């Protein structure tokens, strides 16, 4: 679709909903006395350290900026846009195939969970498919977009080595990154697989960008 007005409304609503979901998740974490960490600041930092939440932050940020102005030529923005689309797609796929239903949620946590794991992936990916903007994905943008998962993985491993949860155990947000459980060799293989998956999906976006209809701006 090449209607700029509808596109900006769609991106604006996406940004507003995802932003609300992030804030709601932070509130849930801050008031959860039975979580991994005791102090409120530690809980907030922990929530912000998840790949899911960081992907949602990128979605909220990039769609919000697109709602304000569609014509954006900055390389950094186009990298963040692709990183957001791929990151939130991975979030939705992994959650619904492997993680959904593992934790029983109640109250506001149910709403936050639905927004961040279901609504955001649907809106984030469909917005890119329907509106684009097209012509932004290049081989250079693809390569730069992989920095997002690589930097997140590095941060997660360093944080895990330094931070302990309330039980005194080094904390890793996802089991496949748990060095204590699997060792660095196995985790290194898992990291490579994650980076390769992200890169392959980004290459798929490059191929799709050349064929999908949508707005060509910038």
DSSP classification of residue 99: I
Question: Within a 10 A sphere around the Cβ of 14, how many other Cβ atoms?
Answer: 24
- Residue 29 belongs to some domain of the structure: yes
The answer to the question of residue 25 being in a domain is yes
CA distance 58 to 218: 20
Tokens linked to 21: 């979901």
195 and 150 Cβ atoms separated by less than 8 Å: yes
Distance in angstroms between the alpha carbons of the first and the last residue of the chain: 16
Residue 215 lies in a domain: no
Domain-located, residue 35: yes
Question: Quick one: pLDDT at residue 116?
Answer: 96
Q: Is residue 218 part of a domain?
A: no
- The per-residue pLDDT for range 107-120, each reduced to its tens digit, is 898 999 999 999 99
Task: Specify the pTM.
Answer: 0.93
Question: 117: closest CA among 97, 131, 132?
Answer: 97
Cβ atoms of 10 and 127 closer than 8 Å: yes
**What are the pLDDT digits (tens) for 154-211?**
999 999 999 998 888 999 988 888 898 899 999 999 889 888 999 999 999 999 998 8
CA angle 114, 169, 22 (to 5 degrees): 20
The confidence score (pLDDT) of residue 101 equals 65
Overall number of domains in the chain: 1
Q: Is residue 214 part of a domain?
A: no
Nearest to 175 by CA among 158, 152, 154, 156: 156
C-beta atoms surrounding 74 within 10 Å: 10
Q: Give the domain range for residue 20.
A: 4-209
Residue 1 banded pLDDT, cuts 50, 70, 90: low
Query: Stretch 69-89: mean pLDDT, rounded?
Result: 95
């Amino acid at each position: 679709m090449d209607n700029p007005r509808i596109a900006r409304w769609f991106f604006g609503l996406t940004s507003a909903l995802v932003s609300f979901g992030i804030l709601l998740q932070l509130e849930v974490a801050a008031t959860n006395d039975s979580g991994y960490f005791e102090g409120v600041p530690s809980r907030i930092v922990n929530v912000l350290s998840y790949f899911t939440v960081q992907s949602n932050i990128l979605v909220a940020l990039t769609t919000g900026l697109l709602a304000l102005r569609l014509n954006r030529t900055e390389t950094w923005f186009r990298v963040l846009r692709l990183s957001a689309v791929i990151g939130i797609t991975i979030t939705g796929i992994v959650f619904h195939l492997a993680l959904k239903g593992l934790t029983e949620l109640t109250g506001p946590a149910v709403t936050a969970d639905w927004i961040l794991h279901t609504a955001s992936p649907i809106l984030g990916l469909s917005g890119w498919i329907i509106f684009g903007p097209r012509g932004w994905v290049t081989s250079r943008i693809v390569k730069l977009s992989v920095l997002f998962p690589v930097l997140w993985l590095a941060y997660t491993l360093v944080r895990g080595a330094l931070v302990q949860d309330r039980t005194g155990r080094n904390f890793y947000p996802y089991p496949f990154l748990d060095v204590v459980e699997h060792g660095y060799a196995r985790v290194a293989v898992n990291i490579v697989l994650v980076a390769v998956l992200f890169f392959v999906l980004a290459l798929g976006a490059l191929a799709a960008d050349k064929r999908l209809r949508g707005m060509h701006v910038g």
